[in-house]
Chains A and B, each alone.
Chain A
Amino acid sequence: MSSIDINIIQRGITNNFEWSAEQGRITAADLGKIGEQRTDNCGALNALPTPFARFFVFKEAFRRVLEQKLDPVNKPAGRAYEHLVSNTLDVFELLYNLKYHENRWKSQDRRIVIKEWNYADQMKVLKNDVPILGNAVESYFKEDLGEASRKLFFIILEDKGKECLLATSSPMTGFITPPDLDLKTVPLAGRNEEDFIGAIYQALNITPLTRKEGGKYFKDILLFENRSEDFKNYMYNKLFSGGATIDARFKELRDYIKAFDADRQIIKNWSDADLEQVYSVNNTPLVVNGIPILCSKATDVINYLTDDIIRLPYKIDSDKYVTLVLTPDSADRDFDYLLPLTKEGLEHLKAGDLKISGTKKSYGDVAVVLECNGKKHERYYTAEKNPGAGKGSVLDLSLAKINFDIALFPNVLSYKPAENNYFKILISATDQNENKTFSVTNLALDFYATDKGGKYIHVEEATDNTFENGVRAPFIRSQQDSNNDCGTKYYEVFNTPFSAICAEIYLEGKAYPFAIIPIWDKSEPSEKKFSYAIDLGTSNTYISRREYGKMTEPQQLKMDKQIVNYLHAKEESVQKGLISRIEGKIPEAFKTLVKTEFVPALIDDKTYRFPIRTALCVTGDDTRKPVLFDNSNIAFFYEKFRGAGNQTVITNIKWAEDEKNLRVFIREILLLIKADILQENGVISGTEVIWFRPLSFKESIRRNFEKIWKEEASNILNLDSAEQQLKCYTESEAPYYYFATKSAFQNVESVAVMDIGGGSTDIVYYAKGEAKIANSVHFGCDVLWENGYNQFVNARDNGIFKHYKDKIHFDTNELKELYEAMLKSNHTSTRDIINLWISNDKETEIAKKLRTDHISTFVYHYTALVYYMAAMFKANELPYPRTIIFSGNGSKYIDNYITDSKVILKQITELIVSKVYGAEISDIELVLPMERKESTCYGGLYHRAGAKEPKPVVYLGDGNNAEYKDVEAINAAYSSGMKNNLANEIAAMNRIYKEVLDALIRQSVIEQVDSAKMKDVVDSVVKDALVSKFQTEILDKYILQEPFNDTLFFLPVVEAVLQLTGVYKK
């Protein structure tokens, strides 16, 4: 048997089980006996029958939490009460650190405003406007809050102009927070998380109010014992040192604070002179129940470490970026932490005065120690979802299924500050979640330079053209979508070498700041100067480099050192090349865009090598305003692998009417050159830049080229003298100087250099080392792959294309995809596709096929060019050339697809020249060098100083060297005999063609070809072509008063070549 009181506490009522007053009223002393549960639910705490219940609840919270402190096992207070106590302490602390916070919030448009509520004034308003509330307040105010508390203070956060109540003064606990600032547990993505009850406080989830020591005000529960030493002493020694003199209504708060008497951080004689009174907006001292609320004047305490640390799913390249030195560490670590440095912290650091390390803890936690200015700053970051007070959290990008990478170009700084005038920063970002919330737009960078003292200075954004240096607004080039696995964004910093980046990721409404500190390569002062020769061809671009004063065999530009720094670390491998080690570790989702949109990490002469295709990669459909990297860049990948779905490749750069693409191309070339010079410790401003032009350039195009080269080279390389250091030679004359320097031919008496390019052929005649005449025609090797006069890009008339398009197969997937895409594309020409076959001969064996099936076409092309050259020389009364040097990539078809036998080639060449000159000629030396195209830029590097330029001549192809003022004059001559003369010349050339074929048949170079039939084919087009193509290609395209610097000779030849491509064994 056990008697029990019908009550919530057992006090042993007897009295025969009638009603009994023997134990009297339940008092506060009895309350401890109530078997209360932990209270984690804030909603439980408003149980008092007064509108001012909230004030009492806080009072009760302090009593409960004190009980808990004294008997933690048996008197747990529960999170709800702990939160209230923590909130009140937060208000005291926020005000104590008010100066510090307001300093930090300057850039965030945040501040604390303290407003007053005066009973006498406000009761009138309440009674008038909200009388029900007014009556209730009137009924209870005096009894509950007391006569002396006729003034309340509201602590308000003004956040971007919006007011948000944080706390109200209370005569019982100093301050109370509004019920909407209480926490509730909400399920979020399968987890339970704590969130503010009131929607008005959601903004604090996004940009939390961060305590000076870390953790979030009003969200992370932080009881008194865990607060900072200064704050504890301020509360203990300053506010509540009065003991019994403190108003009795503060009993619970006072007892709680004074219960920390034994706390080792409480200093009995603590005093802080640097305290000042906090005032309301009405300039009333903030005094609560007799206690003046103070704030520390200290504003120089810096919050160096961020609240959260970001864990990357890859290692950072510690050679190129400052990283956390992790202990313990292992070689197989596949993650890294971004530097958890705040902007504020960075601004108080000196470049170089930074030592940051991390200690790996269990469960993915990490303890970070920053040593700077002789002090240590520590923070513990936990992977737990709800970090305890004072702890930061780890944002694991791998778990969040997002990722990003950063790349800097160039990665090298000049010792001359003025030369550090351009940096491009690529950000690639991906979100692998089904519902994507993260993209490049969620990643923002702020750049910091350093002043002379090493202090980090923010680099401003250049908002208009009045800025002489700064950061240009970032440009999003690609978005993650069905085409792309990631998005890309580009920052550009100009005229400012930057030393650090403060970045922020915005994820699910929250900002995660971090810092990136690049370790730059630095050029060293030297006297080394370099010449660069750039042969920007229709199809390919060559770059060669020569150090002044050194007579070394030139070669195409290649680099040993990387010029781009990626955030991700290189692969550890002793067997792989540097570029493979860098590119191999680009996160998979980024590979396509990073490798197609940005500059290669280095030109290693293997994966990336010159020559490159003269092609631009353009993102998006609008190509009217190409900007380097923002939407356009050199397509290093072209014909190697397929680009991204949102990209197109533009190949018509050199001859295009619009110069913008050309400028972008040249700019990137020059930036590569600059990075190369810096890596080689060269003198940038002393660089010599040589570029080449075809003879056939129209004057207007030539002027454009000159302008672009001059502007870009001057700007990027800061040339000491653009006039002297920027040189232009004709493409045709340059090879001569290279081969002459190399002594590649015997006879110097009369030398012809025939430079066969894609779109044109240039011929220069040298007599005894001196350039005499030069001639250029718009007829290159591309006619072999194109569609005659059909100008549509997607024309598919070419017989060679038709012959093989279904027979060509690629083995590698990348090329397979690329080929399929090119076949489908309306922007890809037959020339592009056949060039792809040729570029990948190992897979396609196209050379063998062409040599077998289409040799007649190549022979005709060769015959036409040699015939034209000889006829042109003859018309200009020059002796036939004893040496013919073939240069230009276009000339490769001669030895590749006709024959590599110089004897046979010599025979057929002499046959053609003999026929033109009407004499038996047998002493022509042919030079078909290995460096067919390279010879142009190599020749540029060895161009003889003071060499005379050849005289440009025009030869229309009709057998004489008459000069015509303009198209109108030619038109007149054409109809009065020139056409017939041309027809005769073509007919003569076609006859020689048959003879050449026969000779080759005899030499067994050609098999199963009917030379007569082939002659019929080429003859068949002459008559019509001379009429119709003269009209469409000359009269329709030129205005009558325009000078004509080309030839008419090839009008029927182009058509004939097209016809010949269709003659093969079906």
Chain B
Amino acid sequence: MANKVFVFCIGGTGLRVMKAITMLAASGVKTNGYSIVPIIIDPHIDLEEKTKVDNLIHDYISIYKYATTSEGQQMNPLDGFFNTQFQRLAEIDDEQNNTSASMAERRTFGEYMNVGNLSNDDVNNFLVQTLFSKENLTNSLSVGFKGNPNIGTVVLNEMVNGADWYSAFTRHCESGDRVFIISSIFGGTGASGYPLIEKKIRDAEGFPNVQRAIMGAVTVLPYFSLEDPTVSRSDIDSSSFFTKSKSALSYYENTVKSDYLYYAGEQTLRANYKNNEKEQKDLAHFVELVAATALFDFLSKPKPDAPQALTRAIYDDKVALDLASLGAGYKGIVKNVADMILLDLLVKILPEESRFPLKKDRKMNKDFYQDHAFVALDQFTKGFYQWYKELSENARGFTPLNLVGPGKELTNLVKGNTLKGKDESYYLLEMIKASNKGNGEKHDNIFRYFLEFAYSAINVYTKNL
């Protein structure tokens, strides 16, 4: 059984980074053998994005299962696409509740704490007034903590205390397992969750595996601004993001103690989002992608002698980043993203490719293309394509690829590079070659073959990026 990394995704930024992690994992970025156990912590009841990320993970797990199961037998992970196993905490421990469900709160913060229980002359009322504003107490928790991590800390503290899912985590965290916490520093939920989860883990008496687990965290620093709250009537004012980050960083200096602390943020806020706490349908952002890479970096590193804080840079401070401006360290990411975009292309064209030999040889026929597995993959790659498109269109933009539609030339797919696979036929031919080689394990999982051949074919042209 592979070791696990429990990835705590806290708040909206946690979700976004988890999405990027899932996309990167699907594209073939490796986790050094760790299976990922995402734990999404967000008290937003109505957040559509949470549902989408949840569905995305669900689709990933489905695809992974389709690709690693044959006649009921578990197979080895793939080498390319979808090579990392994702596990739900619920699958590991049947007894625990869904983390999100247990955190669904429609009450106000004051009701949640039951401050009404304090008698009028109780001196503790003054303590409450010292710590929280009246508005804090009357805000509904259903939309998060509205940039108030001091509230989030109290709520999450309670949500974690004695929660089934947290208990499951402690019980199933085994020797060699790791913990990774994703949060933003400038918001409400994420900012409050990171030190809390870390503290809980470090204080998890009776669970040495938990206490000793190598812990990493990525703290996402401000990277976008919001439209003027006086226009949007939101409670969140992004002009304070830097201020919040600054005071939080000051606090972190003496409190957080992760083995690896990754920072990701922007020095100048270029992206401007709508100020809608309920929706948060904001475009995927490069910083989220960078934050996602932190997990893979973390999993590649041994336990350090002393806590480390890590940052990465880009080669050239451009608004639209290609491989050259990103810098050499991003080659792997660009390759994986390009691979996935090419896979999407193949998934799009192959069902229409009537003369494709593998249709007969490998039964990649109409039935295959209509089967759940391929449909799920089709769905996933479409999502990936959309995600990349968002990354490329945001500011700053992650745009190392020239996206082209079916039938178009692919030589210039990766900006600044010339791929030898001039068009789709080159890749189809390589798939046929891979099929013909037949070096791999023998099984009857057509879907697995498809992913293997596709990766093999694509890798022929992208491996030298």
Contact = CB atoms under 8 A, between A and B. Distances in A.
Contacts, number: 272
A1 B316 contact: yes
A6 interface: yes
A24 B308 contact: yes
Interface stretch (A41-49, A672-680, A984-992, A1024-1032): A41-49
A18 interface: yes
Interface stretch (B191-199, B386-394, B404-412, B443-451): B191-199
Contacts of B191: 47-49
A180 B247 contact: no
Contacts of A200: 134
A892 to B, nearest CB: 79
Given A43-B237, A43-B240, A198 B134 contact: yes
Contact of B247 (A10, A48, A131, A154): A48
Of listed A23, A57, A152, A178, residue having the most chain B CB within 10 A: A178
Contacts of A57: 247
A9 B313 CA distance: 11
Interface string B181-194: 00001100001111
Interface in A155-197: 156, 165, 168, 176, 178-180, 182, 197
Of listed A24, A37, A43, A135, residue having the most chain B CB within 10 A: A43
A7 B243 contact: no
B117 interface: yes
A716 B103 CA distance: 83
A51 B237 CA distance: 21
A1036 to B, nearest CB: 73
A56 B246 contact: no
Interface residues of A, number: 81
B134 A117 contact: no
B245 interface: yes
B118 A129 contact: yes
Of listed B136, B246, B267, residue having the most chain A CB within 10 A: B246
A116 interface: yes
A60 interface: yes
Contacts of A53: 131, 149-150, 153
Contact of B249 (A3, A26, A35, A37): A26
Interface string B207-246: 0000000000000011000000000000101011011111
Interface string B151-169: 0111101100100000000
A26 B118 contact: no
Interface string A1-27: 111111111111111111111011111
Given A19-B310, A50-B195, A41 B153 contact: no
B243 A165 contact: no
B237 A23 contact: no
B459 to A, nearest CB: 21
A331 interface: no
A613 B136 CA distance: 71
B127 interface: yes
A538 to B, nearest CB: 69
B130 A168 contact: yes
A52 interface: yes
B123 A18 contact: no
A25 B261 contact: yes
B115 A133 contact: yes
Nearest to B162: A135
B107 to A, nearest CB: 11
B321 to A, nearest CB: 10
Nearest to B149: A49
A262 interface: no
A789 interface: no
Of listed A16, A28, A44, residue having the most chain B CB within 10 A: A44
Contact of B126 (A11, A12, A60, A165): A165
A5 B267 contact: yes
A125 interface: yes
B204 interface: no
Given A4-B314, A48-B149, A139-B157, A130 B243 contact: no
B315 A3 contact: yes
Contact of B312 (A19, A48, A133, A199): A19
A19 B129 contact: no
A133 B128 contact: yes
A969 interface: no
Given A31-B250, A44-B240, A140-B153, A17 B326 contact: yes
A56 B150 CA distance: 11
Contacts of A12: 313
A35 B268 CA distance: 8
Contacts of B248: 47-49
Contact of B129 (A1, A6, A14, A180): A180
B149 A168 contact: no
B327 A27 contact: no
A130 to B, nearest CB: 5
A496 B371 CA distance: 105
A8 to B, nearest CB: 4
B103 to A, nearest CB: 13
Given A25-B253, A126-B124, A130-B113, A6 B153 contact: no
Contact of A17 (B127, B243, B329): B329
Interface in B245-285: 245-251, 253, 255, 261-268
A45 B112 CA distance: 23
Interface string B294-330: 1001000000000111111111110000000011111
A6 B243 contact: no
A152 B185 CA distance: 29
B255 A133 contact: no
A526 to B, nearest CB: 69
A815 to B, nearest CB: 60
B115 A36 contact: no
A136 interface: yes
B201 to A, nearest CB: 13
Nearest to B286: A6
Contacts of A129: 114, 117-118, 122, 124
A161 B246 CA distance: 41
Contact of B314 (A17, A36, A60): A17
A116 B196 CA distance: 29
Given A36-B242, A52-B131, A7 B264 contact: yes
A115 interface: yes
Nearest to B150: A53
A188 B131 CA distance: 29
A122 interface: yes
B77 to A, nearest CB: 24
A34 interface: yes
B287 interface: yes
Given A17-B313, A56-B251, A116-B123, A7 B153 contact: no
A54 interface: yes
B130 A17 contact: no
Nearest to A125: B124
A126 B194 CA distance: 25
A182 B307 CA distance: 38
Contact of A9 (B132, B267, B307): B267
A301 interface: no
B267 A35 contact: yes
Interface in B73-123: 112-115, 117-118, 122-123
Given A31-B246, A49-B153, A133-B154, 12 more contacts: A41-B237, A45-B244, A47-B244, A48-B247, A49-B193, A52-B131, A53-B131, A130-B117, A130-B124, A135-B161, A180-B133, A200-B134
9 contacts: A3-B314, A5-B313, A6-B265, A27-B253, A45-B240, A50-B153, A129-B118, A130-B113, A133-B115
Interface of B: 112-115, 117-118, 122-124, 126-136, 147-150, 152-155, 157-158, 161, 185-186, 191-196, 199, 221-222, 235, 237, 239-240, 242-251, 253, 255, 261-268, 286-287, 290, 293-294, 297, 307-317, 326-330
Which 8 A-B pairs give the minimum distances between C-beta atoms?
A44-B240, A47-B244, A17-B327, A17-B329, A53-B150, A179-B133, A25-B309, A18-B329
